[in-house]
Chains A and B, each alone.
Chain A
């Protein structure tokens, strides 16, 4: 079937439908790029006083003392990275466990009830999760989890006391809970999309169901699962409200996860209104710039790797 083609010389041989698609596609891509560029420009202009005053030193200095106009972003970058990785460390196994349970183990009825309940978790406003963190989780960490960790793993600097309720660990747990719905539901979709023949292939070799799932089904879906993890990481890095309510908001290079910390998103939200002089404001905006850059890098890596896996699997 031949469709009509354009008579303009440059577009000869291209159907009007294709042209229209190219046109719409270009507009969409352009507008996104323009928006991103405008935002970036705004951030750079706003951060300029700090950029020129502190240079790269800004990224490596641990001093944050607005009264003395000392601004170093390291404690916030560090706090964001550690709390996000901690969230992944707790959240990923939990999410994969949930996804495997829902697709492989749970009876149909349990699955029908549980799946939406878990997804509903994602709809809870983060300030509510933060409140729960303050009233339930932080005391629980201080009184139960931290003493347990100190008793058994206290020889590691990571779990040295004294234990605060408002700590990096508490923030990590809160973040883990917040990223579990997205990681588990995307992973569940990925597991459901694995052809039945893959699992049967393993079972037909005498694999147990556990061996088939861990050795064949999960690896088959690894590209999509990796994408899910990156989505979760993106969310953890950017999460502001729930984190600031439980992390203790103390700009320090903690070694113990039981101590308080601070994150980039949290400091911007907390100190923006107090930032009355230009350099203070510029420093906060520069932290925003760093946050923006890190989120971009995480996303680009995620896309690149997901795309590579998809290609290896022949687009399935």
Chain B
């Protein structure tokens, strides 16, 4: 399996708190990789290291390598702004920009990257890919605040797609959504898998089982076990993984 991202001995933390400990793993291209583990084990910190958002928190630090297509994104000649365009992110809570219309939410990314023409096209394409077009095509000028939580989250996915990323990180994208909205997002992720490399943090194990090709189990900042999803859930090699997926802790 060809890897899109290669994480090599990644350590990260906040000030004196050492959160991620020597994580090494390879994230395959055009596949869905799930990160599971109990709250506070460093899942968010991990994905936030993959697009250099982590370092924006005061006191945050990173050591180690993250190779994107073989190039370390932490090399000094790499512009983090460029990495963040290539590695998109969808957050735990939908975060549309309330001061902008639905249209402008999507167009914002392309605009800051200098695109002036063809925005209608990009907005429509992105909304279609995010399975939101039919629901909002008549109200593109409205504020996104009027959308439901699930629609807002799909808007955020469309917004991320509009800048044509190669990788999309999802940090517990459904934790604020009801089951119907969750199912929609899951279907969407499975479709996006065709064209994007996807990493999804979830603490819903059924969700990981449903949509992920590979699953990594984190515990207290360490990568305990990583493999094909079926193997992790049906045949875990580590006792701690087994305890977690059978619900004995976490």
Contact = CB atoms under 8 A, between A and B. Distances in A.
A197 B51 CA distance: 15
A204 B160 contact: yes
Given A197-B91, A204-B51, A313 B112 contact: no
Given A197-B93, A204-B84, A204-B89, A215 B56 contact: no
Nearest to B145: A314
B143 interface: yes
B205 interface: no
A206 B156 contact: no
B81 A220 contact: no
Nearest to B159: A205
A205 B108 contact: yes
A160 B89 CA distance: 55
Interface in A175-202: 195, 197-198, 200-202
A235 interface: no
B145 A205 contact: no
A17 interface: no
Interface in B76-126: 81-82, 84-86, 88-89, 91, 93, 95, 97-100, 108-109, 112-113
Contact of B156 (A201, A216, A220): A201
Contact of B100 (A200, A204, A219, A314): A219
A206 B112 contact: yes
Interface residues of A, number: 22
B53 A216 contact: no
A205 B95 contact: no
Contacts, number: 74
A200 B56 contact: yes
A216 to B, nearest CB: 5
Given A313-B145, A314-B145, A204 B99 contact: no
B82 A206 contact: yes
Given A205-B108, A205-B109, A197 B95 contact: yes
A313 B98 contact: yes
B91 A201 contact: yes
Contact of B163 (A195, A205, A312): A205
A200 B91 contact: yes
A205 B86 CA distance: 8
A207 B113 CA distance: 8
A207 B160 CA distance: 12
Given A200-B53, A206-B112, A208-B81, A195 B98 contact: no
A211 interface: yes
A98 B108 CA distance: 26
Give the most central of A108, A198, A207, A314: most B CB within 10 Å.
A207
Interface string A286-316: 0000000000000000000000000011100
Contact of B113 (A198, A200, A201, A206): A206
A206 B97 contact: no
Nearest to A216: B97
A219 to B, nearest CB: 4
A204 B97 contact: no
Contact of B143 (A108, A216, A312): A312
B53 A204 contact: yes
Contacts of A312: 98, 143, 145
B85 to A, nearest CB: 3
B88 A204 contact: yes
A204 B88 CA distance: 6
Contacts of B56: 200, 203
Nearest to A107: B58
Given A198-B97, A219-B100, A203 B91 contact: no
A284 B168 CA distance: 68
Contacts of B89: 200, 204
A174 B88 CA distance: 47
B108 A206 contact: no
Given A207-B112, A215-B108, A215-B112, A201 B97 contact: yes
Contact of A205 (B88, B100, B143): B88
A222 interface: yes
Contacts of A314: 98, 145
Contacts of B81: 206-208
Interface string B25-62: 00000000000000000000000000101001010000
Nearest to B163: A205
Interface of A: 108, 195, 197-198, 200-208, 211, 215-216, 219-220, 222, 312-314
15 contacts: A197-B91, A197-B93, A200-B91, A204-B89, A204-B160, A205-B84, A205-B88, A206-B85, A206-B109, A208-B81, A216-B97, A216-B99, A219-B99, A222-B99, A312-B98
Given A203-B56, A211-B112, A216-B97, 19 more contacts: A197-B91, A200-B53, A201-B91, A202-B108, A203-B53, A203-B84, A204-B51, A204-B160, A205-B112, A205-B162, A205-B163, A206-B81, A206-B85, A206-B86, A206-B112, A206-B113, A206-B163, A208-B81, A220-B99
